[in-house]
Amino acid sequence: MPTTEHGDAAIALTRELMARPSVTPSDAGCQEIMGGRLAAVGFACEQLRFGEVDNLWASRGSSGPTLVFAGHTDVVPPGPAENWRYPPFTPSEDGALLYGRGAADMKASLAAMVVATEAFVTDHPAHAGRIAFLITADEEGPARDGTTRVVDVLQDRGERLDWCIVGEPSSSKALGDVVKNGRRGSINGLLTIRGLQGHIAYPQLADNPIHTALPALQALVNEPWDEGNEFFEPTRLQFGNINAGTGATNVIPGQLSAQFNVRFSTETSEAAIRQRCEQIISEHARDFDIEWQVSGQPFLTEPGALVDAAAESIAAVTGHRPALSTGGGTSDGRFIARTGAQIVELGPVNASIHQIDEHILVADIPRLTAIYHGILVRLLGS
């Protein structure tokens, strides 16, 4: 598929989706547009609504391995419109760039996926396996009624997912220079250390939780959790907030709270992190507790059918092979990983995502379409 073929269609669909103000949890009709085009080329489309969130599951084919395109139609709020070069929901080309909220994260990816699939099924109407789309409007928000709920439904039905391409903006400096083949796990802790409030001039009558906490927090920071591995950097703990005090200058506070996050590799586990944190703190504090919240488990797709197909398709379009990475934040890939599917994240350059004047190179949209098309050909071409 030459990069110019179907390029205008992909650019036009990107603009059409960007014009919809689909701030989480609103889909603003994006899934209807995508579903209509997919239905026209033989997809069975199903709307799955949970709470305020619209989700789309669309599939074509009845047997064999399943390749899923996954993504989200929701976008983060644009902020003050007057700070944008152009209105955030009016797609605007300026030179080589297309400006607007969702340009890179991730409506260009959605458009490229749809157009690539239209072209592929037209050329390969009897393609091997199945093609599916899992699209949500709850990725940028709480992520409770989106992909995770759809995955629950699919697993209850016994649906088989073999390969998944998540259209997150994975590229760093040039399209296709980085492919995410996994993500670190993420666990949040809210630590409370209790002491005894008192007058600051009579410390012998109080128990200062700040003094108790300092060596405990430093020990957590210094803990060598693991050394990482070939695909993951070492596990890291970072504090996001520490709070104590009453606002008065002459009062020893009665308690201290500290919020921290651990991004962890496959070399450790959620249970091991909890146990070690509690052990370290207990060596310094007598009265404490930790509230835990797990945002996601680590997952990894090692080089194989999907990673190879992505790398080969990128090389065919761009002339270079991608680096593999598991860095960055979480994505909906963490929910899809529960199915056992191989997962890669492959999308536009991420330099402007969530920013004022979010943008994408117009020329990258046809090229991304060609990359997705090339993966389809390599995995399901008949």
Known catalytic residues are: 74, 139
Using the 8-state DSSP alphabet, how is residue 348 labeled? S
Q: 């009897």: which residue's tokens?
A: 126
Sheet holding 92-94, edge to edge: 92-94, 97-99, 359-361
What ranges make up the beta strands (E) of the chain?
44-50, 53-60, 66-72, 92-94, 97-99, 130-136, 163-166, 178-180, 182-183, 185-194, 198-199, 236-244, 251-252, 255-264, 288-296, 299-300, 323-325, 342-345, 359-361
Ranges of H-type helices in 303-343: 305-318, 333-336
Q: Is 266 left (phi over 0), alpha (psi -120 to 50) or beta?
A: alpha
User: What's the rounded Cα separation, in Å, for the pair 192 and 209?
Assistant: 9
CA quadruple 103, 107, 108, 113: dihedral, nearest 10:
170
User: What's the rounded Cα separation, in Å, for the pair 88 and 354?
Assistant: 12
